[in-house]
Copies of this chain bind each other. A is one copy, B any other.
Amino acid sequence: MYIPTISDMFEAHDRIRPFIHRTPVMTSGYINSLVGAELFFKCENLQKAGAFKARGASNAVFGLSDEQAARGVATHSSGNHGTCLSYAAGRRGIPCTVVMPRSAPQAKKDAVRGYGGTVVECEPSTSSREAVFAEVVAKSGAEFVHPYNDARVIAGQATCSRELLEQVDNLDAVIAPIGGGGMVSGACLTLSNLAPRIKVYAAEPEQADDAYRSFKAGHIIADDAPNTVADGLKVPLKELTWHFVKRNVSDIVTASEDEIIEAMKLIWKRAKLVMEPSSAVPLAAILKNKSIFAGKRVGIIITGGNVDLDTLPWQ
């Protein structure tokens, strides 16, 4: 298992800079007064394709040799990784195939196709997904880019924390939502090397708290079919992300579904930012654990903005 290094992050940043936004950092005096801390929202909802995953996907795609690239890339994802891999492949002009369950939202399928990628549908079961995906790769020889358990992807996500360090002075902590752990691992990689004084926290829904339980148990625990409004956070940790989480994360904090929805509404209302339920989990967890963050300067990764406006969780 290859563990990405800080030089991989620097190389990744040089490689992907033409294809990603240096996203802005926003603040809300009102939210700060509620929390009793200074929060700095790193707006990856404003990233290309609407999510931080454009960073890791671009690093994987543009790191391929021309020969590898010619065969294209493939992944299985019904979320932002599929969309972002399609975006990156489109920018390089190579094929991208995304395997997703027949049952996935039409909007997600359209998003992949909108950037030029191909959607191959499978049944909503792990066995079907693996069988269909194996066939795709066997036929095309496409390069598999895992949504998070991939050194190239983690090195790409790590560029987000580097920008945050350049944009905000004297941070005490950085917090990001945790699903598979790609963004959190990227934060660990960058901060443990460039600013070890800054603590890394992860935030997770109580109803999908496998990372929290893994962290406490000291080994990976996977949830059995978790159900949360923060649908980007249902996936389990893998070897590579667990490596960073167990070594570099200070703590994992959680919040209930209602608290996540309230925090989401609060950011929409006060920061005027359209973001996904997953992106609200850190604020929800901070509001629930004020003592940990009181008086601190805290960077919060707003991970994505791809939400269905017709089915908002508070309606």
Which A residues fall within an 8 A CB radius of B? Answer: 24, 26, 43, 45-46, 50, 265, 268-269, 272-275, 305, 309-310, 312, 314-315
Q: Which 8 A-B pairs have the closest CB atoms?
A: A272-B305, A272-B274, A45-B272, A268-B274, A46-B272, A268-B309, A274-B274, A265-B309
Residues in chain B near residue A273, CB distance under 8 A: 272-274
Taking a contact as CB atoms under 8 Å apart, the answer to whether B305 and A310 are in contact is no
Residues in chain B near residue A26, CB distance under 8 A: 46
A149–B309 Cα gap in the complex (Å)?
37
Residues in chain B near residue A305, CB distance under 8 A: 272
Residues in chain B near residue A312, CB distance under 8 A: 309, 312, 315
25 inter-chain pairs at a CB distance below 8 angstroms, sorted by A residue, are A24-B24, A26-B46, A43-B272, A45-B272, A46-B272, A50-B272, A265-B309, A268-B274, A268-B309, A269-B274, A269-B309, A272-B273, A272-B274, A272-B275, A272-B305, A273-B273, A273-B274, A274-B274, A309-B312, A309-B314, A310-B314, A310-B315, A312-B312, A312-B315, A315-B315
CB distance from A216 to the nearest CB of B (A): 35
A24–B21 Cα gap in the complex (Å)?
15
A292–B112 Cα gap in the complex (Å)?
33
Known pairs A269-B309, A310-B314. 14 more at Cβ < 8 A?
A24-B24, A46-B272, A50-B272, A268-B274, A268-B309, A269-B274, A272-B273, A272-B275, A273-B273, A273-B274, A309-B312, A310-B315, A312-B312, A315-B315
